Chains A and B, each alone.
Chain A
Amino acid sequence: MIGSEEVERETNPHSIVSVENLVKSYGGREETVRAIDGVSLTVEAGSIVGLLGPNGAGKTTLIKSILGLITPTSGSISVGGVDVVENPNRAHAKMAAVLEGARSTYWRLTIRENLEFFGRLNGEVGTEERKRHRQFLERLNLTEKMDDVVNDLSRGEKQRVSLATAMARDIDVLFLDEPTLGLDVEGSFELQQTLTELAAQRGVTILVSSHDLGMIESVCDRGIVLDDGEIVADDAIENLLDVLQTRVYELIVEGGVAASTRNEIERAYDVVSWVEHRGCTKLTVAVSNANRIHGLTGALVRNGLQIRSIRMDDTDFEAVFASLVYDRPHVDESRAARGER
């Protein structure tokens, strides 16, 4: 189901994060900016949820509000049944966050010292905790560099150290803001694997904000698309992909296409372009229902054209995202008002 207005919000006994009608405004009486505008959502325990949206959509503000780093203007937030606004410290016992990517750790300490430090901040570090640290470092391929100073590590390794220190204690919910920023393909892939394992094996709920749509698509169970502080889509990733019913087809026909035929096709279909090349014509057309492609091919054949090939463009998550965010009428208007293209 797409669109925040359409999503039914019932009390879910399995939800670990619950946000109800959250509003965060900045500014004075004369000019108020609503960074978050009436956001409601729940996150089920053990799931991985992706937060998507263009810059300034409100992703980081939403995450920081859930963490208690930002005081909301109105609305309620709870994590594990604890009201974050009323009792942030109790809520913090259940969650951790990596908001600054490769930063977030002490670069002048070794990996081991960082783990001990962050572990000890949350209670004494005993044999059990050290065992968990070792297991986690193994999973993150950091065991061999345990005694290296963080400053000497690569950006990807620093990123993984940040994650390891966030997981240095037993938590239920992990928040990540742009975790793949600055990572190479390999580093990003390793991080994605780690997140999937964390959710599957340790039952950790993960809320991740990212511009890396590929990462969101491969890791997350569910995607929430934010724009201008509002949720514009909230659904399972595969359902978000289905949103874009329209498929783009490329048909190549032998020879040229008469103007009358072109007019007939253009009246019935959403033609993107006609391109003549090497004795053939490439017709690119957007079709909202796959069955309509048969009508199009029939029309071409009836007009004496011989079809050489038909190819459908694969829909990817980026296309869905763009259609959800950039096709919103008010977005176009506000961008036009700001003089943006």
Chain B
Amino acid sequence: MIRGRRGRLSSSVSILRALVTRNILIMKRYPLNTAGAIIGLYALFLLVYLGGRSLLGPGFSGTLGALIVGFFLFIMGNASYKTLAGLFATEAKWGTLERLYLLPVKFSHVAVLLSISSLLVTFFIGFTMLALMLLTTGTSISLDLVSILPIVTFTLLSTIGLGLLFGGATIRYKNISSIFGLVKFVFVAFIVAGPTFEEVFALKFLPLVQGSYLLQRVMNEELRLWDLEPLELSVLVLVGLGYFTFGYVLFRYFTERARTAGVMGHY
């Protein structure tokens, strides 16, 4: 039996290790699935890149850095959200959701660990795509990981929060996947608008907006994390933690509702 903070920590580490190992094993066993996802994203990027270059000509190169950073953030945000939102439906279909619920730790805690494990896959796909985009375009941008990783992590906390919200709603209401698809268009709007929302402070509290703005500055203006204004960083942290907490609380609410309605694990 798992008791105490130390017990909970070792239990969490063990669960996280199991989830990460599972993801790696599946990625290694079915490399075409992962490769297919990357090829699809790369094809989409090529379409935008080549289309933009033929339309705008030499002027396009000035916006290339912004495009790459925006595309990178879109891939990460969408993957982290979509993976998590769809994961609970998939686990329910596989008949494994109940088994995750029956662990001797809180289900919402397991959901957070699932978020972290899916985030690692997201990072893998995101950074692979970033390398491909830079190689293809011959663009040079700042890749200071000490500055990039914290910004990306806090930015993705908001999409993970939304993923938890939709994941919880899926457990309770089942077939709501049609709404999932719509959210990615909203993400595109927020990422594109992110740097232009600088003027309106309230808009910084939308998901991805502040992250998009700061990431553009770090990667294209070659700033370091500590070069950024403390207020801007505080907004990033607050927005990330706020959406994550919001998603976490609603996830717990929806799973409790699912238990009351007797539909936990059904699909």
> Do A and B come together as binding partners?
yes
Q: Is B262's beta carbon under 8 Å from chain A?
A: yes
* CB within 8 Å of B: which A60-100 residues: 61, 64, 67-71, 89-90, 92-93, 95-97, 99-100
Q: Which of A97, A107, A113 is close to B94, meaning CB atoms less than 8 Å apart?
A: A107
Q: A108-B30, A121-B15, A122-B104 are in contact. Are A90 and B1 (CB under 8 A)?
A: yes
A148 to chain B, nearest CB (A): 12
A162 nearest CB neighbor, chain B only: B95
B261 nearest CB neighbor, chain A only: A26
From B18, B103, B265, residue with most partner A Cβ within 10 Å: B18
User: Contact at B259–A71, with CB atoms within 8 Å?
Assistant: yes
Tell me the total A-B contact number using a CB cutoff of 8 A. 100
User: Contact at A93–B95, with CB atoms within 8 Å?
Assistant: no
B266 to chain A, nearest CB (A): 10
Please indicate the chain B residues that have their CB under 8 angstroms from the CB of A116 in the complex. Answer: 18, 21
User: Contact at B106–A64, with CB atoms within 8 Å?
Assistant: no
User: Contact at A26–B262, with CB atoms within 8 Å?
Assistant: yes
Q: A69-B259, A109-B22 are in contact. Are A93 and B15 (CB under 8 A)?
A: no
Q: What's the tally of chain B residues with a CB closer than 8 Å to chain A? A: 33
Please report the C-alpha to C-alpha distance between residue A20 and residue B14 in the assembled complex, in whole angstroms. 35
Please indicate the chain A residues that have their CB under 8 angstroms from the CB of B17 in the complex. Answer: 120
Please report the C-alpha to C-alpha distance between residue A9 and residue B14 in the assembled complex, in whole angstroms. 41
User: Contact at A104–B14, with CB atoms within 8 Å?
Assistant: no
User: Contact at B96–A106, with CB atoms within 8 Å?
Assistant: yes
User: Contact at A149–B96, with CB atoms within 8 Å?
Assistant: no
Q: Is A105's beta carbon under 8 Å from chain B?
A: yes
Please report the C-alpha to C-alpha distance between residue A203 and residue B194 in the assembled complex, in whole angstroms. 61
User: Contact at A89–B104, with CB atoms within 8 Å?
Assistant: yes
B257 nearest CB neighbor, chain A only: A71
* CB within 8 Å of A: which B82-104 residues: 94-96, 98-104
Q: Is A123's beta carbon under 8 Å from chain B?
A: yes
Q: Is A35's beta carbon under 8 Å from chain B?
A: yes
Q: A89-B105, A97-B102, A122-B103 are in contact. Are A108 and B14 (CB under 8 A)?
A: no
Please indicate the chain B residues that have their CB under 8 angstroms from the CB of A61 in the complex. Answer: 262
What are 12 residue pairs bridging A and B, where the CB atoms are less than 8 Å apart in the complex?
Answer: A61-B262, A68-B102, A89-B105, A92-B102, A92-B103, A105-B96, A116-B18, A120-B14, A121-B15, A121-B18, A123-B2, A123-B10
**9 A-B pairs with least C-beta separation:** A103-B95, A100-B95, A120-B18, A93-B104, A71-B259, A104-B95, A93-B1, A70-B262, A92-B104
Residues on A facing B (Cβ under 8 Å): 24, 26, 35, 61, 64, 67-71, 89-90, 92-93, 95-97, 99-101, 103-109, 113, 116-118, 120-124, 149, 165
